[in-house]
Amino acid sequence: MTMAQNAQKLVQKHGLIVAFILFLVVVSLSSPEFLTFGNILDVIRQVSITGMIAIGVTFVVITGRLDLSVGSMLTLLTVLVVDQHNQIGPGFAILLTLIASVVIGAVNGYFVGFLKLNALIVTLAMLSLLQGVTLLYSGGSNVNVTNPQETWFRVFGRGEILGVPMPVWIFLITAAIGSLFLLKTTFGRWIYSVGGNETASLFSGVQTKWVVLSAYVISGLATGFAAVIMGSRVMGAQNTIGQGYELTVLAGIILGGTSMLGGSGTIWRTVLGITMLGFVQNGLLLLGFPYYVQWLVTWAVIILAVWIDLAAKRGRIFA
């Protein structure tokens, strides 16, 4: 095999990563602080909350469904954990938040998995509903942790181990657990099989309803953990804190190459996609562009990444 063929194969298989490395090189040439250890850690810390949610949503996307409610859910759960922290203490607040996240995920999962309603609409309805619940709960005002300096709750968002921020640890450990779960357990294979061919998996004895429901529960739970990090990092919560997260999360998942049709995708690809979005954002800022230019780049990157992926699979550029 010649060099050119090798290179072509590499680009076909990992075109996205190649493009990403090119981007890293270009930015680091013009901005020396870009590829320093501190900046890299900063970027991963910034994407850790989106990343946590994305890991959960990846499960849902692999089953061939969508979860648009995670942004509103993040808002509600952050408000909940911060407010309850002041009332029943950090431990119970976190427990309560995680329970709430599981319940919300299960409601989504019940409507989509058991009643077989359209996932896009159900989670859209949930987006609106949870926004309402948040305002009802908070009365429209912002909540703040009353003693941010003393509480151990600060560990999750502001703590460090071995010089690496706590959110990064949580993000990476969750990614590892999620990945193992998806690739090494029977349940993980069920997730893929439901996304690949639901009827076939039903006939081979997979409880598809329950698999879908658990995917939504995982998505909810991941959002619950993200809310704990968010609350601890900000030590407060506005009623709009999670707005738009659902789209960023989806953009990252799509960028990673997970198909919206279900049946394919991995956690590490999602982590890669989300991290890449973070680096693009950070790199453009370091190059001195206004922050909204990243949206234009994100647009181009999403279209190109998915198109190249499709083109490589079918061996032709155009459909």
Enter the tokens of residue 138.
């908070």
The residues near 125 (Cβ < 8 Å, ≥ 6 apart) are none
Question: From residue 186, how far is each of 180, 190, 241 by CA, in Å?
Answer: 11, 6, 36
- Residue 300 contacts another protein per CB under 8 A: yes
Q: What is the number of other CB atoms lying within 10 angstroms of the CB of residue 215?
A: 31
Taking CB under 8 A as the binding criterion, the range among 1-9, 48-56, 267-275, 289-297 that sits at the site for another protein is 289-297
SS3 content of the chain, % helix, strand, coil (to 5): 75, 5, 20
**199 to 238: interface string for another protein, x by CB under 8 A:** ----------------------------------------
H/E segment holding residue 160 = strand 160-161
Q: What is the number of other CB atoms lying within 10 angstroms of the CB of residue 187?
A: 16
Sign of CA dihedral 7, 13, 16, 17: negative
Choose, by CB under 8 A, the member of 50, 58, 63, 131 that binds another protein: 131
Shortest distance (Å) from residue 111 CB to another protein: 7
Shortest distance (Å) from residue 162 CB to another protein: 36
Choose, by CB under 8 A, the member of 11, 41, 293, 312 that binds another protein: 293
- Residue 128 contacts another protein per CB under 8 A: yes
Choose, by CB under 8 A, the member of 21, 25, 120, 173 that binds another protein: 120
Question: From residue 53, how far is each of 7, 57, 101, 213, 215 by CA, in Å?
Answer: 35, 6, 12, 17, 12
# of chain residues touching another protein (CB under 8 A): 47
**237 to 266: interface string for another protein, x by CB under 8 A:** ----------x--xx--x-----xx-----
Kindly identify the residues of this chain, within the stretch 140-199, that bind another protein according to CB under 8 A. Answer: 140
Q: Which residues in this chain contact another protein in the complex, by CB under 8 A?
A: 68, 111, 115-118, 120-122, 124-136, 140, 247, 250-251, 254, 260-261, 290, 292-296, 298-300, 302-303, 306-307, 310-311, 314, 318-319
